[in-house]
Amino acid sequence: MKHLKSINRKAARIDRQADVVALQQGPPQQAPAPHFPLGCTLIFSPGWEADRNGGTAGLCTPVERDLFDCHAGCFWPAQVPDQLNHAPDWTAKCASAQKDWRKIDLVFP
Amino acid sequence: MLTGCAISAAVLSLSLLAQQPPPPKETKEPTEKEKEEIDSGIPIASEVVRKACSPCHKIDEKQRMSRISWRRTTPEGWEFTIKRMVELNGLKIEPAEAREVLKYLANNLGLAPEEARAASFEAEKRMIDYKYADKDTNEVCSKCHSMGRVISQRRSKGEWELLVAMHRGYYPLSDFQAFRRGGPPRTEPGPDGRPPDNRHPMDKAIPKLAEDLPLKTPEWSAWSANMRVPKLVGRWTFTGYQPGKGRYYGETVIKPGEKEDEAQTETRYVQVKTGETITRHGRALVYTGFQWRGRSFEGSTDKEGWREVMFLDRNQRELTGRWFTGGYEETGIDVTMARVGSDPMVLGLDRAALQTGGVRTVQIYGANFPADLAAGAIDFGHGVAVKRVVSASPSLVKAEVEVAKDATLGPRDVSVAGVVREGAAMIYDRIDGIKVKPQAGMARVGGINFPKQYQQFEAVAFHNGADGKPDTKDDLNLGPVDVTWSIEEYTATYDDNDKDYVGTLDSNGLFTPNVDGPNVKRRGNANNVGDVWVVATYKTPEGKVLRARAHLLVTMPLYVKFDQPEVSQ
Amino acid sequence: MSALALGEFHPFRSAGRDFLYLVPSAAVFELDEAASAIVDRLRESSTGTGELVAELSARFPAAELQETVGELLRVRAISVEGVPDEPPPRQMPPENFPLTTMVLNVTNQCNLSCTYCYEYGEDKIVDTENGRKPKFMSEQTARESVDFMLRESGENRMAHLTFFGGETLLNLPVLRFAIAYARERAAAMGKEVDFSLTTNGTLLRPEVIDFLTENRVGVTISIDGPKEMQDQFRVFHNGTGSYDVIAPKIRELLRRHQTRPIGARVTLTSHTLDVRKIFQHLTEEIGFWEVGFAPVTTSPNRKYAIAEEGFDDMLEQFRSLADEFLEFAVENRHHGFSNVKDTLEEIHKGVSKAYPCGAGLGLMGVSTDGDVALCHRFAGSDAHKLGTVRSGIDRLVQIGYLEKHHIADKTDCSQCWARPLCSGGCYHEAYTRYGETAHPNLHYCEWIRGWTDTCLRIYGELAVRNPRYLEQFEEKVAYEASQVN
């Protein structure tokens, strides 16, 4: 190679392409995130069901805390009823989601 | 999320400010292309549809109704729209009338079988990993919902544009979230010297959708000309597989329903694993000549029933699809029904695989087996000797077979009375490994306010195949095995102890999530979501311990459910 | 054409040049100007090759840029966006991995009672006082252990036997026996054994020193620094400090024991964090050849635990000492800061670890009654037992353990560029801190990244200014186990 100079032994092996393992190992060590289809929204950060890594660690739990924001802002129109059109009164009975979350209904638009 | 919302709201208002005012409407002659598109609109002949929709939708001189005539979709797609018209646009319609409108639209502005096939996972409520070929389009749509909703639509270009406009109107944030490009436009020209493609994602998606999913297709032209009400009355074999429960074999009798395209059913099947017989009564409708939508009940106490979504083949000989139930339709049977004629039919065995060496009795399920079936009329191929027929009824043969120690490994066709079922049995000598299916499971907390979404896991045994290596194409799938199940922590966050909160896994691999709502025992009053490993441990007869695991995401409920169960009523 | 995006690497600059440390291959490449320009551009945003070449064409000929992109792609410093990389194979070590190093806990007794001791102190995991383990290893167990080591060393010609404790010299008879027996058995099998031990120095009588010299036993002294630091924690049972007892003995050892380099091993605590002062004292005033430092292993609430700011402070001191090391190394002079040297060697070899250390794989600890554990720090703990020297290694337990601890399963580490070298860190540290051996040591991530970056820069400097210095790492054997922490 002309523009890269191998410095350590591993680099020299890659250079010689003798070290198949080093190449196979490739970049991101991270396992491909499991993909969940059917209405899943993995692309927002975080997604509704899963975070960017396919887990729940990056979700904004507990979700009850954030329902108002999602509802009022129409942020998750396919997951949380939207205040704008479909369910303007969705949280009317629920002054504090942390306390009154049992009063929230499932909405069938 | 709080930050997410705050940021997005700020950006939204900025982007609204930055938006150009719409150019003044010019009245000019439509181009040739536009004319062609207008001409492709489908006339609405139904009085009921015209009456129900004409208060808003204009009828032109060729009996085409604005918007409606330039779109085709599945029964679920039309149901979706009718509900939105009721909910948001003030449509008043009686249920009986709505059903008639739905049926007309699904039959006359529907999809051809070739078109519906790719989107069948949407109606069958299957969790599959679907990615639309065009990346821009995939991102624009699936940021909020399944691509299944998209690919079960056919529209003219103008209709695709209006669909995007509808989303922008009803869900303004989608503009920022998915439709418009973030960041400043690029100014430097591309390598070919042409200006950079600064179109918004939606502006790239619309022409792509209009090209890939157009209103007018040869498939629909051919199908709509040929479409007829199928004649399904008669006897059908029933073959089913339900994860965790195993194989089902039986028979469905289809009787005429109240109307020509309706059916009444009686299905009786045996769960091979337990020997239990289940009887279900149901009724169904067939849309567009091939889309079976039904609901069946097990006894009089079953109020919910199971929904049936199946696909009829062109020869009207086979129905395939999924019967399902559950808060998120996660529990289901993969069903195949085949018309019973006068010839014998082989459906399958009571097990997936047979081990070399030893004599055992296997059950072969089918239809029209002759009463005097001899051992010689049953064939498993070389190395498997059929010793005797233990018993034979028209639908079940029990036969004693001996698999030679050195029998060739791999799949075997099984023939009975001259009829072959390909790959009905697998011959193996040992179990090399197990795998947990699905590899990525999902459940949702529930039980207090919202339904639980369960997840059934299965452990499937494998033989490494001829190459002796696992995870290669020649691996032999030996079917499910009984294993010991356990849950292990998936360390994504330190010390969250997800495994103590997310729920329980029973001895049959069925995961039951914990309840919804905050949990005072968890740090920060978090709710019971989390992700864990589901681990299967299997001890082979030789005493080797095999382990396999799958990732399980236990996540939020859905607070809104876009579902169209009424299409089967 | 799809856009190009950055691969996974850690960039660093040394001696005025740009280098990349690629992850997870652990290769180090020096970039020329064109390659640097491309990487810099891609750090701003992903872009297509065409655009990239167009943008940079004022500075470099297009053909050269194309060629450089090709090279960067080949080493995976950059990638084509949207082309998912094959998930790396989760490579498990081969079965029946040979045992390279056996650490023999010849006693769990000690004549000191250092407050922070993981064997004896507040965070111990084995009950050394009331447990059922014998306090001293018997000759019989030592014999069985040596047999076990030679048996499990497989095809390896060389085996390393390290004595540990407790205070190793409290069980001098068994130590002597084990060395003699190992010599004899190894010779019969055509093998060789390398011996080393760790001691607190209190029992280094002249005849002991002679014995160690004659037998070429590598010696590591646990010592914390000058008197005021040593006497803070390294105390006798009655609370008096040990400095005055050991200092003359160590000087005697250093004078007489010339067959192997003698190293010091320092435990850093929140109270004794003056790295430069400790180093200077131990090398210049006492005369150690090498000094290795390790932060104390403890639960976070102990008063001597090093808090976050402490780690920052320690990093600063390590850096300044490492700079000194560099100046020495450029002139081919010896410098005894062994932490740098060890890391440089790993960088040079391009080590990309599936596991943080050899514990449970090539290294195992043996307790006084012959139970085999992950390492000496777990010796005697039933929960971390891998077998016994008599019945051998329980391979199922070992495989289960190796599966559980693989870096591929450490989600927290999956995005970290330092993982080829760190791999989550010490199991014992994790166990003490988090109650779980497989847990990555998240409390010192920043410190590890900071330290690895420092060593990479030094490595880069040496590669430019004195590449011959690095040649010494070519010949050294894969795993040098003379120093056990």
Q: Higher model confidence: residue B513 or residue A56?
A: B513
* Residue-level pLDDT at C120: 63
Q: Which of B191, B491, B495 is nearest residue C54 as measured by Cβ atoms?
A: B191
Phi, psi of C368 (to 5 degrees): -60, -30
Question: How far is it, in rounded angstroms, from Cα B298 to Cα C205?
Answer: 89
Residue B254 has pLDDT above 80, yes or no: yes
C477 — pLDDT class (breaks 50, 70, 90): very low
Q: Minimal CA–CA distance to B536: which of B517, B523, B550? A: B550
Q: Domain for residue A20, yes or no?
A: no
Judge contact between C106 and C175, C-beta under 8 A.
yes
State whether A74 and B171 contact (CB < 8 Å). Answer: yes
Residue A99 has pLDDT above 80, yes or no: no
* Residue-level pLDDT at C479: 39
pLDDT tens-digit readout, C31-55: 999 999 999 999 888 888 888 888 9
Q: What is the mean pLDDT of residues B215-220?
A: 94
Question: How far is it, in rounded angstroms, from Cα B353 to Cα B476?
Answer: 9
| Residue C231 CB partners (closer than 8 Å, separation 6+) | C240, C241, C242, C243
Which among B125-134, B390-399, C2-11 has the top mean pLDDT? Answer: B390-399
State whether B517 and A53 contact (CB < 8 Å). Answer: no
Element (H, E) at B384: strand B384-392
B26 — pLDDT class (breaks 50, 70, 90): low
State whether A59 and B440 contact (CB < 8 Å). Answer: no
Residue B211 has pLDDT above 90, yes or no: yes
Q: What single DSSP character describes residue B375?
A: G
Q: Angle of helix C445-465 relative to helix C308-330, nearest 10 degrees? A: 10
| Residue C36 CB partners (closer than 8 Å, separation 6+) | C18
Task: Break chain B down into helix, strand, coil percent, rounded to 5.
Answer: 25, 35, 40
Residue A22 has pLDDT above 70, yes or no: no
Share of chain A above pLDDT 70, in %: 51
Question: How far is it, in rounded angstroms, from Cα A104 to Cα C171?
Answer: 71
Residue C360 has pLDDT above 80, yes or no: yes
Q: Which of C53, C403, C410 is nearest residue B191 as measured by Cβ atoms?
A: C53
A97 — pLDDT class (breaks 50, 70, 90): low
Residue B331: strand pairing partners: B325
Rg of chain A over Cα atoms, rounded to whole angstroms, equals 23
Lowest mean pLDDT: which of A7-11, B137-141, B312-316, B502-506?
Answer: A7-11
Cis amide prior to A32 (ω within 30 degrees): no
Give the SS3 label for residue A96.
coil
* Residue-level pLDDT at C309: 79
Residue A52 has pLDDT above 90, yes or no: no
How many Cβ atoms sit within 10 Å of the Cβ of residue B524?
10
Q: What single DSSP character describes residue B90?
A: -
- Using an 8 Å CB-CB cutoff, list chain A residues near C419: 29
Q: Is B197 exposed, middle or buried (0-12, 13-18, 19+ CB in 10 A)?
A: exposed
Which residue of B lies nearest to C53 if distances are taken between CA atoms? B191
Q: Minimal CA–CA distance to B337: which of B235, B230, B236, B234? A: B236
A61 — pLDDT class (breaks 50, 70, 90): low
* Residue-level pLDDT at C275: 92
Q: Domain for residue A17, yes or no?
A: no
Question: How far is it, in rounded angstroms, from Cα C107 to Cα A90?
Answer: 70
Domain that holds residue A79: 34-100
Which residue of B lies nearest to A76 if distances are taken between CA atoms? B144
Please, what is the average pLDDT of chain B?
89
Q: What is the mean pLDDT of residues C210-225?
A: 93
Provide the residue type at A45 as one letter: S
Q: Minimal CA–CA distance to C381: which of C367, C396, C363, C391? A: C367
| Residue B464 CB partners (closer than 8 Å, separation 6+) | B432, B433, B470, B472, B475
From residue B89, give the alpha-carbon distance in Å to each of A71, B55, B329, B566.
Answer: 21, 11, 29, 20
Q: Domain for residue A52, yes or no?
A: yes
Cis amide prior to B244 (ω within 30 degrees): no
Question: How far is it, in rounded angstroms, from Cα B367 to Cα B395?
Answer: 4
Q: What is the mean pLDDT of residues C232-245?
A: 89
Give the SS3 label for residue B286.
strand
Q: Is A83 part of the contact surface with chain B (CB cutoff 8 Å)?
A: no
Q: Which of the residues B560, B562, B563, B564 would you substitute to probe the A interface, choosing the one with the greatest number of A C-beta atoms within 10 Å? A: B560
Q: Domain for residue A2, yes or no?
A: no
Q: Which of C53, C82, C411 is nearest residue B135 as measured by Cβ atoms?
A: C82
Q: Which of C26, C75, C87 is nearest residue A4 as measured by Cβ atoms?
A: C75
ipTM, interface predicted TM-score of the complex: 0.77
The alpha carbon of residue A15 is apart from the nearest alpha carbon of chain B, in Å, by 30
Task: Break chain A down into helix, strand, coil percent, rounded to 5.
Answer: 30, 5, 70
Q: Is A82 one of the catalytic residues?
A: no
- Using an 8 Å CB-CB cutoff, list chain B residues near C51: 188, 190-191
Q: Domain for residue A64, yes or no?
A: yes
Lowest mean pLDDT: which of B167-181, B231-245, C249-263, C313-327?
Answer: B167-181
Judge contact between B384 and B402, C-beta under 8 A.
yes
Q: Which of A19, A66, A100, A105 is catalytic?
A: A66
Judge contact between C78 and C4, C-beta under 8 A.
yes
Torsion of CA C70, C73, C75, C77, to 10 degrees: 130
* Residue-level pLDDT at B165: 95
CATH number, domain of A68, equals 4.10.940.10
List of domains in chain C: 3-80 (3.90.930), 101-395 (3.20.20.70)
pLDDT tens-digit readout, B558-569: 888 888 787 766
Q: What single DSSP character describes residue B481?
A: -
State whether B558 and A75 contact (CB < 8 Å). Answer: no
- Using an 8 Å CB-CB cutoff, list chain B residues near A80: 559-560
State whether B190 and C50 contact (CB < 8 Å). Answer: yes
Please, what is the average pLDDT of chain C?
87
Question: How far is it, in rounded angstroms, from Cα C97 to Cα C115?
Answer: 37
- Structural tokens at position B547: 């382990």
- Structural tokens at position A32: 């491909």
Residue A27 has pLDDT above 70, yes or no: no
Q: 């085999």: which residue's tokens?
A: C372
B13 — pLDDT class (breaks 50, 70, 90): very low
- Using an 8 Å CB-CB cutoff, list chain B residues near A76: 144
Residue A30 has pLDDT above 50, yes or no: no
pLDDT tens-digit readout, C140-193: 999 999 999 999 998 888 999 999 988 999 999 999 999 999 999 999 999 999
Query: Which runs of consecutive H residues, i.e. helices, occur in C362-467?
Result: 395-405, 419-422, 427-434, 445-465
Q: Domain for residue A8, yes or no?
A: no
State whether B529 and A60 contact (CB < 8 Å). Answer: no
State whether B551 and A34 contact (CB < 8 Å). Answer: yes
Provide the residue type at C279 as one letter: F
From residue B110, give the alpha-carbon distance in Å to each of B153, B289, B293, B505.
Answer: 9, 10, 14, 42
Q: Is B89 exposed, middle or buried (0-12, 13-18, 19+ CB in 10 A)?
A: exposed
Residue C48: strand pairing partners: C3
Going through C15-157 in order, the beta strands assigned E by DSSP cover 17-22, 28-31, 47-48, 78-80, 101-105
- Using an 8 Å CB-CB cutoff, list chain C residues near B545: 396
Q: Is C228 part of the contact surface with chain B (CB cutoff 8 Å)?
A: no
- Using an 8 Å CB-CB cutoff, list chain A residues near B556: 48-49, 59, 63, 79
* Residue-level pLDDT at A25: 39
Q: 């297709």: which residue's tokens?
A: B217
pLDDT tens-digit readout, B103-158: 999 999 999 999 999 999 999 998 887 889 898 899 899 888 889 999 999 999 99
Which among A18-27, B450-459, C85-94, C96-105 has the top mean pLDDT? Answer: B450-459
Stretch 21-80 of chain A: residues touching chain B, C-beta under 8 Å: 34-41, 43-46, 48-50, 53-57, 59-67, 69-70, 73-80
Q: Is C105 part of the contact surface with chain A (CB cutoff 8 Å)?
A: no
Lowest mean pLDDT: which of B13-22, B350-359, C135-144?
Answer: B13-22
Q: Higher model confidence: residue B15 or residue C147?
A: C147
State whether B88 and A73 contact (CB < 8 Å). Answer: no
Q: What is the mean pLDDT of residues B442-469?
A: 93
Provide the residue type at C65 as one letter: L
Chains A & C: contacts with CB separation below 8 Å:
122
Region of residue C404 (left: phi > 0; alpha: psi -120 to 50; beta: else): alpha
Question: How far is it, in rounded angstroms, from Cα C428 to Cα C375?
Answer: 9
Question: How far is it, in rounded angstroms, from Cα B278 to Cα B374?
Answer: 30
- Structural tokens at position C188: 């019969």
Where b means 16+ CB within 10 Å and e means fewer, B371-382 reads eebeeebbbbee
Q: Domain for residue A18, yes or no?
A: no
Which residue of B lies nearest to A99 if distances are taken between CA atoms? B518
Q: Which of C27, C74, C407 is nearest residue A8 as measured by Cβ atoms?
A: C27
Q: Minimal CA–CA distance to C365: which of C104, C151, C125, C100? A: C104
Lowest mean pLDDT: which of B182-191, B211-220, B508-517, C235-244?
Answer: B182-191
How many Cβ atoms sit within 10 Å of the Cβ of residue B556?
27
A20 — pLDDT class (breaks 50, 70, 90): very low
- Using an 8 Å CB-CB cutoff, list chain B residues near C53: 191
* Residue-level pLDDT at B290: 97
Q: Which of B135, B188, B494 is nearest residue C434 as measured by Cβ atoms?
A: B494
* Residue-level pLDDT at B489: 86
- Structural tokens at position C105: 């806990």
* Residue-level pLDDT at A105: 74
Q: Higher model confidence: residue C403 or residue C264?
A: C264
State whether C71 and A30 contact (CB < 8 Å). Answer: no
The alpha carbon of residue C408 is apart from the nearest alpha carbon of chain A, in Å, by 7
List of domains in chain B: 36-181+199-225 (no CATH), 234-339 (2.40.128.120), 345-428 (2.60.40.10), 433-555 (2.60.40.10)
Q: Minimal CA–CA distance to C148: which of C98, C85, C198? A: C98
Residue B532: strand pairing partners: B489, B552
Residue C133 has pLDDT above 70, yes or no: yes
Share of chain B above pLDDT 70, in %: 93
- Structural tokens at position B556: 């939020």
Q: Determine the straight-line distance between the first and last CA of chain C, rounded to whole angstroms.
A: 53
- Structural tokens at position B18: 């930055």
Q: Minimal CA–CA distance to C70: which of C81, C82, C79, C61? A: C79
Q: Which of the residues C42, C75, C351 would you substitute to probe the A interface, choosing the one with the greatest number of A C-beta atoms within 10 Å? A: C75
- Structural tokens at position B279: 């009887």
Residue B2 has pLDDT above 50, yes or no: no
Q: Is C25 part of the contact surface with chain A (CB cutoff 8 Å)?
A: yes
Biggest alpha carbon distance in chain B? 86
Residue A33 has pLDDT above 50, yes or no: no
Q: Is A97 part of the contact surface with chain B (CB cutoff 8 Å)?
A: no
A29 — pLDDT class (breaks 50, 70, 90): very low
State whether A5 and C29 contact (CB < 8 Å). Answer: yes
* Residue-level pLDDT at B181: 81
**Numbered residues of chain A with Cβ closer than 8 Å to any chain C Cβ:** 1-11, 13-15, 19, 21-32, 53, 55
The neighbours of chain A, by the rule of 3 or more Cβ pairs under 8 Å, are B, C
Question: How far is it, in rounded angstroms, from Cα C329 to Cα C344?
Answer: 12
Task: Break chain C down into helix, strand, coil percent, rounded to 5.
Answer: 45, 20, 40
Write B517-522 long-range contacts (CB < 8 A, 24+). B517/A64, B517/A101, B517/A102, B517/B445, B517/B448, B517/B449, B518/A62, B518/A64, B518/A98, B518/A101, B522/B496
Q: Minimal CA–CA distance to B69: which of B111, B112, B109, B110? A: B109
- Using an 8 Å CB-CB cutoff, list chain A residues near C68: 2-4
